[in-house]
Structure 1
Amino acid sequence: MPVGLPISGNTILFALVGDPVRQAMLPTLFNPMLAEQGVDAVMLPVHAPQDRFDEVMRGLQAIGNVAGIAVTVPHKSSALAYADEITPAAEAIGAINALRRNPDGTWTGDNFDGRGFVAGLAASDIDPAGLTVTLVGTGGAGSALAVALLDAGVGTLRLYDRDTTKATEVAARVEQRSHGTVRVTDTLNLTGADLVINATPLGMHVDDPLPFDPTGLEPHAVVADIIMKPDQTPVMKRARELGYMVHPGLHMLTNQLDCYRKFFSNTLSAVGSSENQV
């Protein structure tokens, strides 16, 4: 692993905010990238309990040498309130996973989860165009996946969430981006699915129930998860036992790393480090 520059008074800070945050792997990938490019900056994990999220975000944005903030569960929707402007994709998603400080002190938000997920599918030779996809979970990450999958040309996207109202709101935001069909299902429907995605937190803990039972899927179906730790979630383990192809969550992160790099590339000058470039 590359050794970064010594931390000094000139070091620029990035924060990764979540609750919990121990499972987050972005700093593990982002910091070596900074080191490889000789950037005097570091990303630190910040545990922000839900009832103190506002306090943490206001504090981070008030720190003069914080150039950017990455956001993970469960704060991606709440983080919208801390952006002065967001990209059109983030507006459709209704959530962000990155904020950057601009030279004028304002903050721009974007979301890379969906783009990373679809790029990860492509890297695994899975083309979502024309597929029937069941997406389980329509929170911040699930919404991002919905937008990116529709942009990639899926044939039918079925949205399922225990909170049907939330799934319906996501469908209303994203269906205009699709030439296919977007459906909200009151009950989990895996019939005929080519790709089934767990976009819920179920699987982060060993005693979690399965988000869905992959038994009876089409023989060619792919079971995907967005959870990165553990790398073999219970639903993926079950799918493997049944002989299905699985697609782990780490692909989503590794394939959005370049999005983070480009997004933050112009922000370091806003905190007084014009020599740095991500």
Structure 2
Amino acid sequence: MVAVNIRGTTRLYAVLGDPVAQVRAPALLNPLFAQLGLDAVLVPVEATPAGLGDAVRGLTAVRNLDGLLVTVPHKMACRALADRVTEAAALSGSVNAMRRLPGGGWEGANFDGEGFVRGLRTAGHEPRGATVCLAGAGGAGSAMAVALLRAGAHVTVWDADPDRAASLVSRLAPHFPGRLAAAPGHVDADLAVNATPMGLRPGDPLPFDPAALRPGTLVADIIMSPRYTALLRAAREAGLPVHHGEPMLAEQIALYREFFGLG
């Protein structure tokens, strides 16, 4: 545990979500601030979807607040609140980080996908040429689809809302011809990924059944707490290799440092 010394000079960062009890970013970024000798702190801010606009406007008025991180379910809504976005955020239609622009307003970026791909590679799993079944076409899922396609994977996406999956495919397919499709469920794949919030709450249904996957399929979950989600427990019981959620965030630290100019 790193002690945080809050002073009148402290710069603020907030992570927006609903809920926020599961967020791990403060546990990773606050020690980084201390390590870098920065007078800064990241705190969780719980805002409902109905109150998100008011929350962002209020935070915009806080003059010593330098940046926002964004988690479920606000990534797509915050894309609409950003005044400018990076290319990856424009393709995915979602943001998970926002920084102040010099002339006012916010620039949005999304590092979920790049963090996930880096986490896979660090663990020895190369996505280039892999067939990926992706559950979730929301904010995180869209960003991961972009990054996986950029890394050379073939992606099939499924969502509880078929229209959302179809919209993602129609938006991205022209940029990655022949490597993206929507499907009603998971098919044979090298990698099956949960990019939905299913698993955050006790009693959530599984996004897909690991026992129906072919032997050797790597099962990944982006949910970070608990470390072994119900999906990963079921995958392990089915004899499948698993990939945990925390590497996706851990690999984003360097990206956040550059984006926010943390040195």
Normalising to structure 2: TM-score of the pair? Answer: 0.97
SS of residue in 2 equivalent to 1:50:
coil
Q: Is the 8 A contact 1:129 1:153 kept in 2?
A: yes
Q: Aligned AA for 1:22?
A: A
Partner of 2:26: 27
Q: Deviations over 1:182-215 (max 9, x none)?
A: 1111x2132x211000111111122111111011
Report the CA distance between 1:30 and its aligned residue: 0.5
Task: Output aligned runs, 1:18-167, within 5 Å.
Answer: 18-154=17-153, 156-167=154-165
Cross-structure match for 2:179? 181
In structure 2, give the amino acid aligned to 1:238: A
Q: Which runs of 5+ in 2 are unaligned?
A: none
Structure 1 stretches (4+) deviating beyond 3 angstroms?
1-4
Counting aligned pairs with the same residue, the percent is 46
Q: Distance in 1 between matches of 2:25 and 2:186?
A: 32
Q: Counterparts of 2:76 and 2:127 in 1: how far apart (Å)?
A: 26
Paired residue secondary structure (1:215): helix
Residues 1:229 and 2:225 aligned together: yes
For residues 177 and 126 of structure 1, the distance between their equivalents in structure 2, rounded to whole angstroms, comes to 24
Shift, 1:232, TM fit: 0.5
Q: CA RMSD in A?
A: 1.2
Distance between the aligned counterparts of 2:102 and 2:181, measured in 1?
Answer: 42
- How far apart are residue 55 of structure 1 and its match? 0.9
Task: Quote the Cα distance in structure 1 between the aligned partners of 2:148 and 2:114.
Answer: 9
Distance of 1:50 and 1:102 partners within structure 2: 24
Q: Distance in 2 between matches of 1:21 and 1:206?
A: 15
How many pairs were matched up? 263
User: Is the contact made by 2:186 and 2:208 (CA closer than 8 Å) also made in structure 1?
Assistant: no
Unaligned runs of 5+ in 1: 266-276
Tell me the residue number matched to 1:269: none
Distance 1:220 1:241 in 2: 13
- Structure 1 contact 89–111 (Cα < 8 Å) conserved: yes
User: For residues 16 and 136 of structure 1, what CA distance do their matches in structure 2 show?
Assistant: 24
8 Å CA contact 2:17, 2:47 repeated in 1: yes
Q: Deviations over 1:34-66 (max 9, x none)?
A: 000000111110010111111111000111111
Q: Which one scores higher on RCO, CA 8 angstroms, separation ≥ 6? A: 1
